[in-house]
Chains A and B, each alone.
Chain A
Amino acid sequence: MSNTNDLQEFVEKLKAHNADWVSEVVDALGEITIIVPAESVVDICAFLKAEHGFDMLADLCGCDRGPEEDPRFEVNYHLFSTTHYKRLRLKVLLTEDNPNVKTVTGLWKTANWHERETYDLLGIIFDEHPDLRRILLPSDFDGHALRKDYPLRGYEPYSLT
Chain B
Amino acid sequence: MSVALENKTDQIAALDDSLESQMTISMGPQHPSTHGVLRLELILDGELVIKTTPDIGYLHTGMEKLFEYKKYQQGIVITDRMDYLNPLGNNLAYVMAAEKLLEIEIPERAQVIRVLMCRFRIASHMVWLGTHALDIGAMSVFFFCFRQREKILNLIEAASGGRMTPSYFRIGGLMMDLPAGFDRRVKQFLHDFPAAMAQFEVLVTGNTIFQSRTKEVGYIGKEEAINWGLTGPCLRGSGVELDLRIHNPYTGYEKYDFDIPVETSCDVWARFKVRMRELYESEKIVKQALERLKPGPTKADAPKVVLPDRDDMRKHMDSLIHHFLIVAEGFNVPEGEVYHAIEASKGELGVYMKSNGGPKPERVHFRGPSFVNLSALPDMVEGELIADVVAVIGSLDIVLGEIDR
Q: Which one of B229, B240, B341, B362 has the greatest number of beta carbons of chain A within 10 Å?
A: B229
Most buried by A among B57, B247, B405: B57
Q: How far is the CB of A18 from chain B (nearest CB, A)?
A: 25
Which secondary structure dominates where chain A touches chain B? loop
Contact A29 B7 (CB under 8 A): no
Contact B64 A133 (CB under 8 A): no
- Are the C-beta atoms of A112 and B375 separated by less than 8 Å? yes
Check A19 for interface membership: any CB of B closer than 8 A: no
**Of A9-17, A38-46, A53-61, A95-103, the one with at least 4 CB within 8 A of chain B:** A53-61
A136-B60 in contact (CB<8A): yes
Chain A residues contacting B228 (CB-CB under 8 Å) are 108-110
Cα A106 to Cα B221 in complex, Å, equals 18
Name A147's closest neighbour in chain B (CB-CB): B65
- In the complex the two chains form, is A146's CB within 8 Å of B338's CB? no
Segment at the interface with A among B132-140, B319-327, B363-371: B363-371
In the bound complex, CA of A46 to CA of B384 (Å): 32
CB of B263 to closest CB in A, whole Å: 16
B229–A76 touching, CB < 8 Å: no
- Contact partner of B367 (CB less than 8 A), chosen from A29, A61, A85, is A61
Bound-complex Cα distance A57 to B363 (A): 20
User: What residues of chain A lie closer than 8 Å to B62, measured between beta carbons?
Assistant: 145
Query: How many A-B pairs fall under 8 Å by CB?
Result: 109
Task: Give the interface size class of chain A.
Answer: 35 or more
Q: B330-359 CB contact bits vs A (8 Å, 1 = yes)?
A: 000000111101000000101010100000
Contacts of B4 in A (CB 8 A): 133, 139
Nearest-CB residue, chain A, relative to B55: A135
| B contacts, CB < 8 Å to A | 1-4, 7, 56-57, 60, 62, 64-66, 69, 100-101, 103, 226-229, 240, 242, 247-248, 336-339, 341, 348, 350, 352, 354, 362-363, 365, 367, 371-372, 375-376, 379, 404-405
A-B pairs, 7 with minimum CB distance? A110-B229, A59-B367, A61-B365, A85-B247, A136-B57, A113-B375, A63-B363
* In-complex Cβ contact of A59 among B1, B101, B240, B352 (8 A): B352
Determine whether A129 belongs to the interface, using a CB cutoff of 8 Å to chain B.
no
CB distance from B369 to the nearest CB of A (A): 10
- Asked if A152 meets B7 with Cβ closer than 8 Å, knowing A59-B367, A87-B339, A89-B339, the reply is no
**Across the interface, which residues of B come within 8 angstroms of A63, CB to CB?**
354, 362-363, 365
Q: Known: A29-B338, A58-B348, A85-B248. Is A135-B56 also a contact (CB below 8 A)? A: yes
Q: Which listed residue, A29, A58, A65, A146, touches B100 by the CB 8 Å rule?
A: A29
Pairs A–B under 8 Å by Cβ, sample size 18 = A29-B336, A29-B337, A29-B338, A31-B337, A55-B226, A59-B352, A63-B363, A76-B339, A78-B339, A108-B228, A110-B227, A113-B371, A113-B375, A121-B64, A131-B7, A134-B3, A139-B1, A152-B69
Task: Report the bound CA distance from A152 to B360 in whole Å.
Answer: 14
**Does the CB pair A59–B365 fall under 8 Å?**
yes
